[in-house]
Amino acid sequence: MDTFRVMRQDDHGNRFLVVGGVGREAAERLAAEFEARGHKQLYWVEAEPAGASRTRGPAE
C-alpha cells in the first residue's frame, strides 16, 4: 500500500509535515479539513518517499 503525507507551507515559505503514513483518501480529507477551517497556509498531499518516517496523525 502506498502511503501519503499532508504538507503545509506558511506565509514565510517554511514547509512542515502535518501528518504522514496515511492512505491517500485520509490525506486528502485532512488537507481539505485544514483548508476549510480557513487557515492561511497552503496544504497539499504528496506521496511519501521510500523509507520515510511513518508517523500517524489525528486521523488514525
Report the chain (60 residues): mean pLDDT per 10 consecutive residues. 91 93 96 83 92 54
Decide: pTM greater than 0.85: no
Summarize pLDDT for 17-32 with one digit per residue, the tens. Answer: 999 999 999 999 999 9
Q: What torsion do the CA atoms of 38, 41, 42, 46 make, to the nearest 10 degrees?
A: -100
CA distance 18 to 22: 11
CA distance 50 to 21: 11
R_g (Cα) of the chain, nearest Å: 11
